[in-house]
Chain A
Amino acid sequence: MSVVLFVTGLAVTTYLLRLAGVSAAASGRVGGPGFGAAAAALPVALLAAVVTVQAAPGGAPSVRLAVAATVAGLCARRTGFLPAVLLGTLAGALLP
């Protein structure tokens, strides 16, 4: 039940966020002075936090997950997204 509630809530908020941007563009409204900086920093902050939380479930770092994240991150610039994910996953899976 909680999954259905979550999916419904997220679907509604996501649609409204999308519609807000499209509608604001059509009406000529734009964000304030800090909007650009916040929009640029937000994905970095969120992704860094998510990687940390995923690599340290409950605040306890997992070596296997940390290695998977590190290898994928290091490979991402050179190999692109998909090979980096596969290499990171492989590196993590090789550890006990």
Chain B
Amino acid sequence: MGRRTGTPPPGRRGGLREDLGLALGAAGGAAVYSAVFGAAAVERGWSVWEAVLASVAVHAGGSQIVGLAALDDVGTRAPAVPGATAAASVALSASVSVTVSVAVSVAAAVATASLVNLRLTAFGLALGDVFPTRWGRALAAHLVSDESVAAAVTRESPRARRRTFLVVGSVLFTGWVAGTVVGATLGAALPDEARRAVDGAAVAAFAALLAPLLRTRADLAVAAGAAATALVSSWWLPAGLPVALAALAVLPGAVRRA
């Protein structure tokens, strides 16, 4: 969920009404984005409740779609278990092989998708003194997102930041889950031709998120390096790993240039 929210200039006091305006605008965009996720998940064989569970429990759009792509062929890459004519020991060995293969693929998908969420740690750092108690931080952590923190840090006082964070975060979360429900439900009901377009929507969404981030030659160099690494490595590596490898490969160069 890396979209712009149109937050007010730094230092504004902002009231509840302004918070709600920000929240509804952010939630509207999030709902559309999460509908794309819901439809793409169903397109890839997830059930509706699995897609909704992901949005409720993870609540981080970019990582959910990255994970969707990383997990895409976990089932299809697993070797086939021999039939009834095969020896029992061979079948057992193949079954263990399938289990290990799926476990490795799922772990790789989780690791790749978690990389996308590293930025949420940085956003949490930006919140600072908003939640002084341990329980407050534990309960509020799930609402940390680009939009909720970006809106909160524009407020003057910790109290106003806390209110803005909770209002924007809660409404955004609601819109995110609702969008997933709609996308997953309608996506399953769409004809094949329409569902085929969902693949284009997912890649279009990522491209639309990426383009505004390409401001300098250094940004372009990072993007080009990551794209080339991902493309070449996807010829050999299983799904999920090319994205992680590409990100890890270009980061040292980006840090050195900074």
Contacts and interface: CB of A to CB of B under 8 A. Distances in A.
B250 A53 contact: no
Interface of B: 2-4, 29, 32-33, 36, 46-47, 50, 53-54, 57-60, 62-67, 69, 71-72, 74-75, 102-103, 105-107, 109-110, 113-129, 131-132, 137-138, 140-142, 144, 196-197, 199-214, 219, 222-227, 229-232, 234-235, 239, 242-243, 246-247, 250-251, 254-255, 257-258
Interface string A11-36: 10111011111111110001100111
Contacts of A87: 204
Given A3-B50, A39-B122, A44 B219 contact: yes
Contacts, number: 301
Interface size class of A (residues with CB under 8 A): 35 or more
Contacts of B118: 17, 39, 42
Contact of A41 (B3, B125, B229, B251): B251
B247 A49 contact: yes
Given A49-B226, A56-B234, A44 B246 contact: no
B248 to A, nearest CB: 8
B205 A45 contact: no
Contacts of B123: 18, 21
Contact of A69 (B33, B128, B203, B231): B203
Q: In the complex, which of the residues A30, A45, A93 has the most CB atoms of chain B within 10 Å of its own CB atom?
A: A45
Interface of A: 2-11, 13-15, 17-26, 30-31, 34-59, 61, 64-65, 68-77, 80-82, 84-85, 87-89, 91-93
Contacts of B71: 2-3, 6
Contacts of B115: 42, 46
A42 to B, nearest CB: 6
Given A17-B118, A21-B123, A38-B251, A72 B207 contact: yes
A85 B39 CA distance: 14
Contacts of A85: 32, 36, 201, 204-205, 208
Contact of B124 (A24, A59, A70): A24
Contacts of B219: 41, 44
A4 B50 contact: yes
A85 to B, nearest CB: 5
Given A42-B251, A44-B219, A26 B200 contact: no
A7 to B, nearest CB: 5
A24 B129 CA distance: 10
